[in-house]
Structure 1
Amino acid sequence: MWETITVSQYIIQFLESKGIQWIAGVPGGTILPLYESLAASNIKHVLARHEQGAGFIAQGIARSTGEVSAVFVSSGPGVANLITAVADAQRDSVPMLVFSGQVPTHLKGTDAFQELDTERIVSSMVKKIYSIEDPNLIPSVLREAYNIASEGKKGPVWIDLPKDIQTETILNLPNLLMESEGHIPDSNEELIPFERETSTTLDLFLSEWKEYLAKAKFPLFYIGGGAKKEYKRLRKLIQYYQIPAVTTLMGLGIFEKNDPLNLGMMGMHGTIGANEALGVCDLLIAIGVRFDDRAIGNKELFCPNANIIHIDIDANEIGKIRKPNLSLKKDISEVINFLFINPFENSNDMEKEIIGKNDQMQIGVWKSIPEIHPAKELIQTFASLIPNGEHFVITDVGQHQMWVAQYYPFKEPNSWITSGGQGTMGFGLPTSIGVSLANSNKQVYCFTGDGSIMMNLQELATLREQNLNVKIILMNNGHLGLVKQQQDLFYGNVYSGSKFYYHPDFSILSAAFGIPYLIWEKDGNDYELETLIGKPGPAFVEIKIPPDWGVYPFVPGGKSNQDYILDLAKT
Structure 2
Amino acid sequence: MSEQITVSQFIIDFLESKGITWIPGVPGGTILPLYESLARSNIEHVLARHEQGAGFMAQGRARSTGEVSAVFVSSGPGVANLITAVADAQRDSVPLLIFSGQVPLGLMGTDAFQELPTAKIVSSLVKKVYLVEEPNQIIGILEEAFWLCDEGKKGPVWIDLPKDIQTQKINLPEKNNRLGDPFHLDFLEPISKVDHLSFVSFDFFLEEFKSLLENSRFPLLYIGGGAKKEYLRLRELVSRFQIPAVTTLMGLGIFEKDDPMNLGMMGMHGTIAANEALGVCDLLIAIGVRFDDRATGAIQKFCNQAKIIHIDIDAREIGKNKPVTLSLQKDLSEVIPFLLEEDFLIQNSESLLQIEVWKEIPEEHPMKSILLDFASVLPCGEHFVLTDVGQHQMWVAQYFPFLNPMSWITSGGQGTMGFGLPTAIGVALSHRDSHVFCFTGDGSIMMNLQELSTLKEQNLNVKIILINNEHLGLVKQQQDLFYGRLYSGSKFHFHPDFSMLCQSFEIGYFEWDWKLGTTELEKVLEKKGPALIEVRIPSSWGVYPFVPGGKSNQEYILEKLVT
TM-score (norm 1): 0.96
**What is the CA–CA distance in structure 1 between the aligned matches of 2:155 and 2:194, rounded to whole Å?**
26
Q: What's 1:276 paired with? A: 276
| 1:323 alignment partner in structure 2 | 323
Q: Is the 8 A contact 1:196 1:318 kept in 2?
A: no
Aligned to 2:95: 95
Question: Do residues 468 (structure 1) and 460 (structure 2) align?
Answer: yes
Q: Conserved in 1, the CA contact under 8 Å of 2:442 and 2:469?
A: yes
Which whole-Å deviations, capped at 9, do the CAs of 1:56-106 have from their partners, x for residues lacking one? 000001000000000000000000000000000000000010000000111
Alpha-carbon distance, 1:45 to partner: 0.5
Q: Is the 8 A contact 1:188 1:315 kept in 2?
A: no
The AA in structure 1 aligned to 2:348 is I
Aligned to 2:294: 294
Task: Give the SS at the match of 1:204.
Answer: helix
Distance across 1 between alignment mates of 2:309 and 2:177: 41
Give 2:348's aligned residue: 355
Distance across 1 between alignment mates of 2:426 and 2:418 = 14
Shift of 1:177: 8.5
**Matched residue pairs, number?**
563
Assess, with a 3 A threshold, how the Cα gap between structure 1 residues 228 and 291 changes in structure 2: closer, same or farther.
same
Contact in 2 for aligned 1:147/1:184 (Cα 8 Å): no
The answer to which of 105-114 and 190-199 deviates more is 190-199
Question: Which residue of 1 is the match for residue 5 of structure 2?
Answer: 5
Take 2:215 and 2:247, find their aligned partners in 1: how far apart are those partners? 23
Q: 1:174 to 1:478 in 2, by over 3 A?
A: farther
Specify the code of the residue in structure 2 equivalent to 1:355: N
Matching residue of 2:503: 511
Does structure 2 conserve the Cα–Cα contact (< 8 Å) formed by 1:222 and 1:245?
yes
Distance in 1, Cα, partners of 2:176 & 2:109: 33
Summarize the Cα distance change of 1:334–1:129 in structure 2 as closer, same or farther, 3 Å threshold: same
Once the two structures are aligned, what percentage of the paired residues are identical?
A: 68
1:24 aligns with 2:16: no
User: What pairs with 1:422-433 in structure 2 (closer than 5 Å)?
Assistant: 422-433=414-425
Aligned: 1:75 with 2:68: no
Q: 1:103–1:163: 8 Å Cα contact kept in structure 2?
A: yes
- Where does residue 539 of structure 2 map in the other structure? 547
Does the aligned pair in 2 maintain the 1:210–1:341 contact within 8 Å?
no
Deviation per CA, 1:124-182: give whole Å up to 9, x if none.
Answer: 00000001101110010000000100110000000000000000000023626865977
Structure 2 residue aligned with 1:377: 369
Letter in 1 for 2:484: G
2:410 to 399, 415, 418: 418
* Residue identity opposite 1:28 in structure 2: G
Task: Report matched runs for 1:153-168 at 5 Å.
Answer: 153-168=153-168
CA distance in structure 1 between the partners assigned to 2:126 and 2:244 by the alignment: 36
Looking at structure 2, the residues matched to 199 and 118 of structure 1 have their Cα atoms a distance apart, in angstroms, of: 37
Q: TM-score, normalised by structure 2?
A: 0.97
What letter corresponds to residue 316 of structure 1 in structure 2? R
CA 27–447 in structure 1, closer or farther in 2 if over 3 Å, else same: same
Whole-angstrom distance in 2 between the partners of 1:50 and 1:174: 39
Q: How does 1:475-554 map to 2 (within 5 A)?
A: 475-524=467-516, 526-554=518-546
Contact 1:400-1:449 at 8 Å conserved across structures: yes
CA distance in 1, matches of 2:414, 2:225: 14
Shift of 1:367: 2.1
- Structure 2 CA distance for partners of 1:275 and 1:194, relative to 1, 3 Å: closer
Deviation at 1:323, TM superposition (A): 1.1
Offset from partner CA, 1:501-555 (integer Å, 9 cap, x none): 0021000000000001000001426222111111111001000010000000000
Q: Which residue of 1 aligns with 2:141?
A: 141
2:77, 2:6 → 1: CA distance? 26
Q: How far apart are the structure 2 equivalents of 1:564 and 1:557?
A: 10
Residue 121 of structure 1 pairs with residue 113 of structure 2: no
Unaligned residue ranges in structure 2 (runs of 5+):
none
Q: What is the rounded CA distance, in whole Å, between the counterparts of 1:438 and 1:20 in structure 2?
A: 10
Unaligned runs of 5+ in 1: 345-351
TM-superposed deviation, 1:195 = 4.4
One-letter code of the match for 1:397?
Answer: V
Which residue in the other structure is 1:347 paired with? none
Equivalent residue number for residue 104 of structure 1: 104
Q: Could you tell me how far apart the structure 2 residues matched to 1:103 and 1:140 are?
A: 22
For 1:533 and 1:34, how far apart are their aligned partners in 2? 39
Secondary structure, in 3 states, of the residue corresponding to 1:260?
coil
Distance 2:484 2:355 in 1: 37
Report if aligned partners of 2:231, 2:254 keep a CA contact under 8 Å in 1.
Answer: yes
Distance 1:186 1:223, change over 3 A: farther
